[in-house]
Amino acid sequence: MGKAIQVQGLRKSFKNTEVLKGVDFEVERGEIFALLGSNGAGKTTIVRILSTLLRQDGGTASVNGFDVMSNPRKVRQAISLTGQFAAVDEMLTGRENLIMIARLRHLEQPRQAAEDLLRRFGLTDAADRKPSAYSGGMRRRLDIALSLVGRPQIIFLDEPTTGLDPEARMEVWKIVRELAAGGTTVFLTTQYLEEAEQLADKISILHEGRIIAGGTLAELKKRFPAAKVEYVEKQPTLEEIFLAITGNKEAI
């Protein structure tokens, strides 16, 4: 089946600013892959390229075995995208939002698909209310549910917990784990280091337009100086690893 995502030498500039300077990484099928980086590092630019919303200036990128530039239609059939802010229609109820997307995806039973997702995401009781009456966590659950209409093989979650309170964030984490357990490949961008530490099978750190480190959490910990031994061994957190690798040691 090959890799879910393969990126080699990816480059992108906006006017005179080079945002991506030759990015390389791979994502295995069925895993949760976290792309870490500060604001402006280029995370969303990568997501937009991989989801065929933006053309790269150089390098190659393939999703589900299809090149994003030469075969964008095939890529779009395999993916779904949830951005930083919930993209729901405020004039429709939760149920109507789901039915609309199911019809746009030409599902044979759009109402049944909507009911299944409402049940799965714990939104049945709120199905006939408009999103303006939802809490932040409920809106995000609806947004992710909309992304799963048609059962995409790969889902991009671009900073999905931005602006959510801790309880709502935990709700999203649970959904992400369930997606991966069901075989969906999850590509997650985040600036919350704890989020990547809790969820990701693999992590890549994007800094100044390049991937400067990647691997499992255990592999990244090996790059950190030996643990300090006081009364017990103190293992580095992902935040300490991130700051050390990006050169911001004074912040540790």
Q: For the chain, which residues make up each domain, given as ranges?
A: 5-251
SS3 category, 243 = helix
Run means of pLDDT, 10 residues per run, the chain, 252 residues: 90 94 96 92 94 96 96 94 76 94 91 93 93 87 87 91 80 88 93 90 94 92 70 76 74 43
Q: What is the pLDDT of residue 251?
A: 44
Q: Is the pTM of this model over 0.85?
A: no
Q: Identify whether the C-beta of residue 120 lies closer than 8 Å to the C-beta of residue 145.
A: yes
Find all residues with CB under 8 Å of 136, minimum gap 6, and list them.
Answer: 163, 164, 165, 168
Q: What is the pLDDT of residue 1?
A: 58
Domain 5-251: which topology?
A: Rossmann fold (3.40.50)
The residues pairing with 187 across neighbouring beta strands, listed in sequence order, are 33, 156
Q: What is the pLDDT of residue 207?
A: 93
Structure tokens of 2?
Answer: 């090959």
Q: What is the pLDDT of residue 227?
A: 61
Find all residues with CB under 8 Å of 18, minimum gap 6, and list them.
Answer: 11, 12, 209
Q: What is the pLDDT of residue 2?
A: 74
Q: What is the pLDDT of residue 21?
A: 96
